Chain A
Amino acid sequence: MTMLKETRIVLRNMGKIDPVSATDYRAQGGYAGLQKALKMTPGEVIAEISASGLRGRGGAGFPTGKKLDISSKVEADQKYIICNADEGEPGTNKDRIILSSDPNTVFEGMAINAYAIGASRGFIYLRYEYPSLFPLIEAALQNARNEGFLGENIFGSGFSFDIELVSGGGAYVCGEETALISSIEGGRGEPRSKPPYPGAQGLYGKPTVVNNVETLANIPVILDKGGEYFSKIGEPGCTGTKLFTLCGKITERGVFEYPMGTNLMDIFETHGGVKDGRDLKGVMIGGQSGYLINNTQMDLKMDIDSCRRKDATLGTGTIMVIDDYYNLLEIVENIMTFFIHESCGKCTPCREGNVRMHEIIHNINVGKGKMEDLELLEELAETMKLTALCALGQNSFYPVITSLKNFRYDYVRAIERGQR
């Protein structure tokens, strides 16, 4: 058994500084990355970020440098940077931890990205469910402005950038970037079809880069220490660290930062394994729309590509441990209730698909299931994957089909019991 030690890049200042203090952040080497960036050309900044190999931490894993490059090349009189802090994914609280311990690293990341694409304004879209963060971020923004790290003519470079904090209203789907943009514009948080991507046509029709909190928190380190330094952390092709949220029935819960590619079993064992001496049934990884894997599948390297190769997903870094006490079907049913509630209702496959899946699983769970239902679930999943409008409906069935595969016995047993 390997006992792991955290590698803190994103959480480098956690517990060391007063989170609202820009001077504390500065004393730890903060805003040095921005200062360096402002002496480079925007193209050089993007090249540095591309060289780091950083990929988006919101779940999709798109190369951040490429995202910036696309928006930098679009001609427009106004561009925007949005920080996606609508962290609604059950089993994920990493963004809350980052923003409550070190908001300035996110501001700095936004400022660097803004300089890279030629934006002068930024928004932080914060979910309503983090009420304590609103006053904290407002105070931190004000301090950063007072110290000249935000606002007009930053570091005397002629570059100006400021950030406003806006609120979500309790809608999971607003974590999807086009829904988030619609929400800021004063609309319902319904996703639209892409293209055009926000990078070309985003907020108020202008080129907009939307980044996850964790992605942004890495940017200052990349500019300060160099893309090459960053690229040596983690795995080739999937560099840096990842914040993992350990929750459910694990002995030591919390948010921990490990290099990309860290083994799931090692993380599990380092944090004490299953709570109260019960046996491990399985783990939900990647988030609520992630994968349910069983206790024989724990030898897994946790990075975007390794997970994909092993038919798993890194997603947002959720590790929700399930012990043998639980009826797995009840958990899947609970998860589908979530998606029924959070589907925006715009497209039929998602609006209806989640309801039907929930209904079928519920029936199986109460002993009214048939073996044919299992094929029906797979067919339904395939339909949603092919036809749903956004990532919500294209992923919400994963807990169903992965549990069907990895916990088939639980389904078959429930059906057979019902038929007796």
Chain B
Amino acid sequence: MSKKQDFVLTAETQAQISAEAKKYKEAPWQLMRILLRIQKICENSFPRDVAVVVSQETGIDVATLYSYTSFYAMISDVPRGKYIVRMCESAPCHITGARDVMDAIEYTLKIKAGETTPDGLFTLEYCQCLGMCEKSPAIMINDQVYSDLTPGKASGLIEEYIRGDIA
């Protein structure tokens, strides 16, 4: 498993992050959505440099921010791929073939769950219920949900992402 490089702040991304974080004071209940948008700017991670910027804009200290983000599965402080592939492992998916679908994805991406491809494109994770139980098994790639999968359909889908047919 290769280690993906940390996201590096530039003047441009820092300005984007600041602008996003500034919205907190107007609507503190939107903290999660603000951080999720910031995470998208930062290649799907929430590293320390970014937390410092967010802290300055929101007035929330870095320790409290991490106490918050580390609780939620959708925010990561370690670098992740451009595409996060999440395989639902909850029971309805499990009994309709999730394991076989995961095997096919692992084979296609040549990585195991929890790993990132050496080119930094894909991170593969297990996740809990995606709420697609009546169309299981299901996966989510970034914000896109795919359901009624078979091993063949899943590897075909991943290949489309690899070829860049789906951006």
Chain B, 120-156, CB within 8 A of any chain A CB = 127-136, 140, 143-145
Is there an interface contact between A288 and B75, defined as CB atoms closer than 8 Å?
Answer: no
Report how far A334 CA is from B145 CA in the complex, Å: 22
A164 to B32 alpha-carbon distance, docked (Å): 13
Known contacts A129-B129, A249-B96, A334-B89, A186 near B29 by CB under 8 Å: yes
Does A229 interact with chain B (Cβ within 8 Å)? no
**In whole angstroms, how far apart are the Cα atoms of A344 and B30 in the complex?**
21
A314 adjacent to chain B (CB < 8 Å)? no
Please tell me if B62 contacts chain A, counting CB pairs below 8 Å: no
Does any Cβ of B come within 8 Å of A341's Cβ? yes
Cα of A191 to Cα of B115 in the assembled complex, Å = 32
Contact B28 A130, beta carbon cutoff 8 Å: no
Hey, which chain A residues are within 8 Å of B129, CB to CB?
88-91, 129, 172, 288, 338
Q: A157-190, CB under 8 A of B: which get 1 and which 0?
A: 0000000101111111000000000011111111
* B134 and A255 contacting across the interface, CB-CB below 8 Å: yes
Complex Cα spacing A187 to B29, Å: 10
A200: B residues at CB distance < 8 A = none
Q: Which of A164, A170, A188, A248 contacts B27 (CB 8 A)?
A: A164
CB distance from A78 to the nearest CB of B (A): 13
Q: Is B90 an interface residue (CB 8 A)?
A: yes
A contact residues around B28 at 8 Å (CB): 185-186
* Total A residues in contact with B, Cβ cutoff 8 Å: 53
Task: Determine the residue in chain B with the shortest Cβ distance to A184.
Answer: B29
Bitwise, A228-253 to B at CB < 8 A (1) or not (0) is: 00000000000000000111110001
The closest CB in chain A to the CB of B143 belongs to A131
Say if the beta carbon of B31 comes within 8 Å of chain A: yes
Which residue from chain A places its CB closest to the CB of B94 in the assembled complex?
Answer: A334
Instruction: Give the distance in Å from the alpha carbon of A131 to the alpha carbon of B86 in the complex.
Output: 13
> Interface digits, B30-73 against A, CB 8 Å rule (1 contact, 0 not)?
11110010000000000000000000000010000001110111
Q: B19 at interface (Cβ–Cβ under 8 A)? A: no
Tell me the B66-105 residues at the A interface (CB within 8 Å): 67-69, 71-75, 89-92, 94-96
Complexed CA–CA distance, A129 and B136 (Å)? 14
Residues of B within 8 A of A130 (CB): 131
Say whether A152 faces chain B, with CB atoms less than 8 Å apart: no
Contacts of A92 in B (CB 8 A): 131, 133
Contacts of B96 in A (CB 8 A): 247-249
Least CB distance from B121 to A in Å reads: 20
Q: Check A90/B145 contact, CB under 8 A, given A331-B91, A334-B94, A335-B91.
A: no
The answer to whether A337 has its CB under 8 Å from any CB of chain B is: yes
Contact of B71 among A188, A255, A284, A322 (CB under 8 A): A188
- Check if A129 sits within 8 Å of B131, measured CB to CB: yes
Distance (whole angstroms) from the CB of B65 to the closest CB of chain A: 9
Contact indicator per residue, chain A 246-277, by CB within 8 Å of chain B (1) or not (0): 11110001110000000000000000000000
**Contact of B74 (CB < 8 Å), options: A169, A185, A188, A254:** A169
> What is the CB-to-nearest-CB distance from A336 to chain B, in angstroms, rounded to a whole number?
10
Cα-based distance from A127 to B130 in the complex (angstroms): 10
With A129-B131, A131-B143, A164-B27 already in contact, the answer to whether A91 and B32 are too (CB < 8 A) is no
Do residues B133 and A170 form an inter-chain contact, with CB atoms below 8 A?
A: no
Contact assessment for A131 and B128 in the assembled complex, using a CB-CB cutoff below 8 Å = no
Q: Are B131 and A247 in contact (CB under 8 A)?
A: no
Q: What's the minimum C-beta distance from B166 to chain A, rounded to whole angstroms?
A: 15
A93's partner among B69, B91, B133 (CB-CB below 8 A) is B133
Chain A min CB distance to B74 (Å): 4
CA of A87 to CA of B90 in the docked complex: distance in angstroms? 14
Partner of A245, one of B29, B75, B89, B133: B133
A320 contacts the other chain (CB 8 A)? yes
**Any B CB within 8 A of the CB of A358:** no
6 residue pairs, one from A and one from B, having the closest CB atoms: A169-B72, A170-B73, A90-B90, A131-B143, A170-B74, A247-B133
Known: A131-B144, A338-B129. 16 other contacts (CB 8 A): A88-B128, A88-B129, A88-B131, A90-B129, A127-B131, A129-B140, A164-B30, A170-B72, A171-B73, A186-B29, A187-B68, A188-B67, A188-B68, A188-B71, A248-B96, A341-B128
List 12 A–B pairs whose Cβ atoms lie within 8 Å, in order of A's numbering.
A90-B90, A129-B140, A131-B140, A164-B30, A168-B32, A170-B127, A246-B134, A248-B133, A249-B95, A331-B91, A331-B95, A344-B71
A residues adjacent to B (C-beta < 8 A): 87-93, 96, 123, 127-132, 164, 166-172, 183-190, 245-249, 253-255, 284, 288, 318, 320, 322, 326, 331, 334-335, 337-338, 341-342, 344
